[in-house]
């Protein structure tokens, strides 16, 4: 009968929810917590050779100490452009030049800035929750469209599967957010 034809693609929903989690992790990595991290430079793009290029493609990014990031720029002509991109990035870091090496000392965060960063992290977390819920809605819409061709029991089964998947990812978002906020508030 027609009952056997409907099969919700849970793998697709899972992949899309994983994408929301990946985006959240990337956004969290860009938040400066007072500790040096090479990933904090990932969102910064440099105007290089006529196109926008990530910093890690114009030099080697290292973290030699807990409060220092260095960028060894491969092309001397690019040093000024990399420095300018960092200054304009809004990270609040003042680059120091030493030949082709750009040093980024990471200052201590004050209490007010920590609280502001936790609010930003909370906003990132909420954006991830919304993305997960949008994937849930898409899954539920697929189930509703198949309403006439599947039994009520199958419909309830698929709805509970989608809801369970959603709950699992919302818990992951909440756990990631809590961990990031603790990291930010740590002195």
Three-state secondary structure call for residue 102:
strand
Average pLDDT across the chain, whole number: 87
- The CATH number corresponding to 35-105 among 3.90.1640.10, 3.40.50.740, 3.40.47.10, 3.30.1360.40 equals 3.30.1360.40
User: Does residue 173 register a pLDDT over 90?
Assistant: yes
Give residue-wise pLDDT tens across range 35-69: 777 877 887 889 888 899 888 899 999 988 888 89
User: For the chain, how long is the longest CA-to-CA vector?
Assistant: 74
- β strands within the chain, DSSP E: 45-48, 51-54, 59-65, 68-73, 96-98, 101-105
Strand (E) or helix (H) holding 185: helix 152-185
The domain 9-28+110-185: what is its CATH number?
1.10.132.20
More confident position, 29 or 20: 20
42-55 burial, b if ≥16 CB within 10 A, otherwise e? Answer: eebebebeeeebeb
Write the burial class of residue 133 (CB in 10 Å: 0-12 exposed, 13-18 middle, 19+ buried).
Answer: middle
């Amino acid at each position: 009968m027609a009952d056997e034809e409907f099969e919700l693609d849970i793998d697709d929903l899972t992949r899309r929810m994983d994408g929301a989690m990946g985006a959240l992790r990337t956004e969290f990595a860009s938040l400066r917590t007072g500790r040096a991290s090479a990933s904090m430079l990932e969102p910064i793009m440099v105007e290089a050779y006529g196109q926008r290029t990530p910093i890690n493609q114009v030099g080697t990014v290292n973290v030699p100490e807990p409060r220092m990031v260095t960028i060894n720029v491969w092309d001397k002509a690019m040093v000024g452009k990399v420095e300018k991109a960092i200054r304009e990035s809004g990270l609040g870091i003042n680059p120091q030049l030493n030949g082709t090496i750009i040093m980024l000392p990471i200052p201590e965060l004050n209490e007010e800035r920590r609280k502001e960063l936790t609010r930003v992290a909370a906003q990132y977390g909420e954006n991830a929750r919304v993305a997960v819920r949008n994937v849930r809605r898409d899954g539920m819409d697929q189930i509703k469209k198949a309403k006439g061709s599947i039994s009520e029991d199958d419909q309830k089964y698929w709805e509970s599967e989608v809801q369970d998947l959603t709950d699992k990812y919302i818990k992951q978002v909440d756990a990631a957010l809590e961990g990031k906020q603790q990291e930010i508030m740590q002195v």
